Every structure is written in C-alpha cells, then in structure tokens.
Structure 1
Amino acid sequence: MTELLARLLFFCAAALGRLPWPWLMALGDGLAALWRRLDARESRVARRNLELAYPGLLAGERAQWHRAILRTTARQALETLRLWTRPHQDNLQLIREQHGTALLDAAIASGRGVIVAAPHHGNWELLNQWLAARTPLAILYRPPESAVGEAFLNRVRAASGASADRVTQIRAEGPAVRQLFKRLGAGGVVGILPDQQPKAGDGEFAPFFGVEAFTMTLVGRLAQRTGATVLFAWCERIDTHAGAPGFALHVEAAPAAIADPDPKVAVAALNQAVEHIARRDPAQYQWTYKRYTLRPEGSGECNPYAAS
C-alpha cells in the first residue's frame, strides 16, 4: 500500500510538473499570497526568523522581505515537483552558469573523498541532479515522518536519469555515519545539508546571523577524521529565460577551520560559511525552517517559535 500511494503521489506531482513554467510560477505566487492571507505556518516562521536574524530591519523592509521569501519558497516548492518528475538532462539545461566546478573535479581526482555541503539556498534538488550527472553520490537525508513520504522521496530522487548506482540515499540515523566514513575512505562523494538542526547530542551551538543555533558537528568530524575535501555548493536563481527559471551553479572551497579538532571552532566556521551564502540573496534561503528551536542550556531562553 505504501508503494502504491507513493506512485499515486508521483503521478500527481508529474501531472502538475507538466504545466508550463509561467503557470507554475503563477501558482507559486498564488500559494504565497494564500500563506500570507491565512498567516500559515510558513508565513509565521519566516516572519519570526526575520525578527531574529535581521533585527535592524524597519517594519516596511521586513514586510517586503517576508513577501519575497514566501514567494520564492512557494515557487521553489512547485519548481521542485517539476524537477523531480522530468528528465534530469532537461532539468540541467536550466543551469545557465557554472562557477568553481574545477574545484570539484580536482577534489574527486585527489582520491581523498569529497564532502559537498549544500545549504538550503536556491534549489538544492537541482544541485543533487547536477552532482549525480557528474559523479556517483551518496546523499544524507532526514526521512519524513510518513512512510509514504519517504517512499515518494526515494522514488523522485532516483528517477529519470540518476540510476541506483549513481545515487545512494542514506538515512540520517545510527548506521549513517559508518556508511559515510566508508564512502569517504574509498574516495567517494557525499552530499550533506549542513544547516539542518541536529538531534540533541549531535551538535554544538554557534552564531548564525548573530543568534546561537544548534549546529551539526558531523561535517567537521568527517572532514577531520578522513581528510576529505569539503566544498560548499548551491544552485542560485539568476533570471527567467522564456518564462523558465535560470540558475547559476556555484562551488566554493570551505574554510579550513571546518575540519578543526575543536567542534566549537568547526561549527562556527560552518555557520559563517552558510551565512555568507544566504546573505547573497536572503529571499532564496529557507527561512521557513525553524532553525533556532533548541536553545543553549542555562541560557533561560525559550523556543522562539513557541508562540507560532
């Protein structure tokens, strides 16, 4: 039954993804307007994150940024349905520019393993497809609470051009770390979303936009123990061509401090790098995610989203 429902979801997503790009973007704009009108979860969380990360914004500026974030988030959601259900070789034509890709080629050629840290900026699913077209790739992911959702996710991320031997999806659970160490030890490539809040005990607090955020230590541990190269990568929206979105793909070297033996130093460097990317265009960062839920012990701070 789980697989049947996942196939049904895929069919619905594929039907929606066949709509012309202008229609999808208009639907996204309508969805963003509905979020604002209903003050939906996405709207509330984005507003709270702006208050925390950009306290100096004037009320009018914050409202403008809030609208831009919701518009981009909604468009990205529908955009991703199309990317998931259309041939990957067609999707990759949306990448109009590529910057720093020689860094990835050199890191792979070194044979020391590569950690691709992909923040929630732009469209990370298009980045996954580009990486899979370039090299075998293991992706660490947090499974959805729904078994149907996970079956759907496994299906769309392996469909249409990225065969099973090119993309390995690893659940972010106990055995995952061993699998990642093994993969990197063999000179492989792994992709990690570095700005997801880890479980208690799996991270350290470090500033993110001036606010302490509980941050994963996994990237630093992997880099420090394996000697793998850490690169940041993202697909950033740059324009619209003939009614379709266009993207610039970026690859940048991570700061050396990410592999520091002191986990507090490593996570501080990680957050600083992610913040640098997110500040390029704040509307393209995933501000609808509750990044600051956990608070430092003894700080007296409460969950800032509790009222939301």
Structure 2
Amino acid sequence: MMSRLGIWLMQRSAVLPLRWVRAIGWLLGHLLYLLIGSRRHVVETNLRLCFPAMAVRERRALARRTFVAFGQSWMDRGWLWHAPPAVVARRLNLVGAVEELEGDAPTILFGPHFYGLDAAATAIAIRVPRRYTSIYTQQADPAVDEWIKAGRLRFGDCRVFSRATGIKEIVASLRAGDVFYLLPDMDFGAADSVFVPFFGVSAATLPSVPRFARLGRAKIITVLPRLTPQGYTVELLPAWKDFPGADATEDTALMNRRLEGYIDRMPEQYYWVHKRFKTRPEGEPSVY
C-alpha cells in the first residue's frame, strides 16, 4: 500500500516545476542524512577510506551533499518517467562524443554509479536511434519493480537482461550491434570478482568490462551524467584506446583508476550510499 502511494506521489510530482522538484529532493536528502544513521555511517566510512587526507569537517559536508544529490535524483525519476516527452527531452543535454554511437559497431557504455544513471539511459534512448540493453536487478516489491522497469523502458528500443542471464545472450546482443549499458562498479560479492584498488583500497570488482569487450569485440565509451539546475548534462567520452589488454585483472584495475578521475570531477554525485568495500580479501575485517 505504501509503495503504491509513493509511486502515485512520484507520478503527481511530474507536473511540478523542476526547481520545486529539486527543493523537495533537497529536503528529502537532508532528512535521510539526519534520520538514517546506518546509511550515513556507510557514506562517511567510504569517504574516509577514499579521501583520507580530507579534513573531517569537509568529509561531513561532502556526505551531506551526496545525500542531497541522492534525494534530488530520486525525485527526478518522477518527471523522467512520467512527464511529457518534450519536457524530458528539454531537461536532458547529451554532449561529447555522440558520434561514437553512430553506426552499428558493438558498443559498451561504461556507466559508473553516479546518481544520474537513469537520466543518462533516458537521454541516450531519446536521442540515439539504436537498440540498447542493460542488466536489471529485480526489486522485492512487485509494484516498485513494475514501476522502475516501465520507467527505464519508456523511451527508445530498449530491453533489459536479468542478472541470471547467461553471458552468451549478452555477447550475441553486442555482436548484433546493440549498445550495452553496463554498470560494473558495485560490490557484487566475491564470486567472479577480482580484488583491485579503488582509491587505494582493495575492492571486489567484476571484470565484466574487459570480459564483454573481448567476447563482444566491442568498444568502450564512458557515460557521465551530472545534475544541473536545468536537469542533467550527459557526457559521452571518446572510446577507450588499446582496450582490452591481455590481462583482465589489470584492465579492471585500469577501469577503477579511470573511475577515480571521473569521481574527482563531481564527488558528491557518486553512489557513496553503497557498501563498496563490503567484501574483503580473506582475513581482512569488515570496514563497516
């Protein structure tokens, strides 16, 4: 019942001016920061590990800003998934190496977990006339699951794979010319992961970017969404050169190093609410 009420409120918020939506998101972010101590602890631990030289006061201010960005990006899903298409298109600015998506060459979009990840997918679906695919994690609540999936499939020629989908189907999709939106920078556990540095801390990381690039003979393009007062700017970077290499672990470490540089551009907009260092190398204690 509460989930359906929340979805109804998000649908109603789609008609509000963007500045009102962002104001509600600002309030939501501050409330979450104050009320959900366990998640605040996760964010502050991540920031302490990744930015040890940063002053404590500065890290706390950054933690507050990341909760605000989280709240605002969550509220933005109301208009992303329910506002008229013209409104959505007006608020999404796709810039950078857009020409990299022309043609039908197998392409992987490396999508780090910035809070604007859904805005990035929508911007590409609206403006790039190619079929694209992604991996979807099913939600526990059926109503929420249906709502999120419908929102993500609203525009363009899109389909989603479940996490149980085999590699062969994804590779076949790539070789058929689909754009594969891949978000591999979370902690998915020790199975199939390698431990590589992330801001100098050993982090369990899936080597899926080099694996799919090799099997699908695909190029890698980074997509970076940034919240702006007008909506989102979604930047496509030029394709990675000389990738993948001969060693998947070294390639995954390179991916993390590049990710660090992207995060340094807008640290408050990265998904610090996730337990990025939950899985530890054998013998190491939990950091949370």
Fold match by TM threshold 0.5? yes
Residues 1:270 and 2:219 aligned together: no
Mapped partners of 1:179, 1:132: distance in 2: 21
Q: CA deviation at 1:149?
A: 2.7
Mapped partners of 2:93, 2:180: distance in 1: 24
The residue aligned with 1:285 is 270
Match of 1:33 among 30, 33, 38: 30
Partner deviation per Cα, 1:94-152 (whole Å, 9 max, x = no partner): 134611212222xxx2x431111111125111111122121211111222233333222
Match of 2:83 among 82, 86, 95: 86
Structure 2 unaligned segments of length 5 or more: list them: none
Once the two structures are superposed, the pairs formed by residues 177-256 of structure 1 within 5 Å of their partners are 177-238=167-228, 240=229, 245-256=230-241
1:219 is paired with a residue whose SS is helix
Mapped partners of 1:47, 1:198: distance in 2: 21
Partner deviation per Cα, 1:183-212 (whole Å, 9 max, x = no partner): 011122111112122243222111111111
The amino acid of 2:73's aligned partner reads Q
Q: CA deviation at 1:51?
A: 0.8
Residues 1:14 and 2:11 aligned together: yes
The amino acid of 2:287's aligned partner reads P
The residue aligned with 2:43 is 46
Partner deviation per Cα, 1:133-179 (whole Å, 9 max, x = no partner): 212111112222333332222122123xx25xx01011111x24222
Mapped partners of 1:190, 1:78: distance in 2: 26
CA 1:16/1:146 → structure 2, altered by over 3 Å: closer, same or farther? Answer: same
Aligned length: 286
The amino acid of 1:137's aligned partner reads Y
Partner deviation per Cα, 1:281-301 (whole Å, 9 max, x = no partner): 10111111111100112xx32
CA 1:192/1:22 → structure 2, altered by over 3 Å: closer, same or farther? Answer: same
1:149 is paired with a residue whose SS is helix
CA 1:179/1:48 → structure 2, altered by over 3 Å: closer, same or farther? Answer: same
Mapped partners of 2:22, 2:3: distance in 1: 25
Once the two structures are superposed, the pairs formed by residues 146-165 of structure 1 within 5 Å of their partners are 146-159=141-154, 162=155
Q: Is the 8 A contact 1:236 1:247 kept in 2?
A: yes
Q: Give every structure 1 segment of 4 or more consecutive aligned residues whose post-TM-superposition deviation is greater than 6 Å.
A: 4-8
Q: Is the 8 A contact 2:133 2:159 kept in 1?
A: yes
Q: CA deviation at 1:47?
A: 1.0
Q: CA deviation at 1:22?
A: 2.3
Structure 1 unaligned segments of length 5 or more: list them: none
2:76 is paired with a residue whose SS is helix
CA 1:36/1:203 → structure 2, altered by over 3 Å: closer, same or farther? Answer: same
Partner deviation per Cα, 1:219-241 (whole Å, 9 max, x = no partner): 21110122111111122124x2x
Match of 2:160 among 145, 153, 169: 169
